[in-house]
Structure 1
């Protein structure tokens, strides 16, 4: 079923109704800016650093962390690279000015996005949409 609302109010009403009914759905319309995340990459921070320590250090700087992921190589060994999702705020661009965290000199960058083919959802593993717009039940790839 494809629904194309004419305005934002109608779209929000449809999405709220689907959430209330616990329906499985996805959309191609971005969520409101208050729900978007801002992703950064922290490099040169030791891989044994606890996620709670990173969260508290960034919250002292005025950033609200949603999730942290430590990147791993092909052998499943952790790398000194962390992907950090920050809740949308006015000061998100200020995070790139931080040069040291937890007494370690590190670098904060925007993530490199390579695009090959259609987007694949990392939640339900279907093609054509991304996890930000997905409300389907999660599926494991393994």
Structure 2
């Protein structure tokens, strides 16, 4: 099944704007039985079950977290489709296409590999290369804090007694003052009665 066969079959099924691209292996550069289809009508692809007399299925392309690397010049930040720079081999680092290199693919040719980006002894697509972009460290998640006091903290925390003591002292003082006032009133009443009794006795004499 070729790219043209897929495009023609998609057009016959109502998808005329499809852009079809066959995917290749990153290591061997050989074509894979996988095709990338770009269209403004992705909902119609879900209805298609057969293409070029073969049973097919469509999946949404997953966005890769890896930085894009050009298979032509081996630099990062763009793809070979729009690259106009000189070709550089991913295996030996020389100025030729990677598919025409006589150096065996890893791991067989790993010992003789040379990175065209840093000059070290590894392929240019090695993720541990010093020139490879590093993933940005994710920011630590903020942990919400609360002012709630745990049961253990409440048990350990000494209870304050100043406020109840002050209230008790105030209450005691008020009660004492009230008792003194009553006693004074009773004494005044007794004194008045004694004065009246003394005056009555003087009248009799």
TM range (shorter): 0.3 to 0.5
Q: Whose radius of gyration is greater, 1 or 2?
A: 2
> TM-score under structure 1 normalisation?
0.44
Greater share of residues in helix: 2
Return the structure number with greater relative CO, CA threshold 8 A, min gap 6: 1
Which one has the bigger strand percentage? 1
Please give the TM-score of this superposition, normalised by the length of structure 2: 0.33
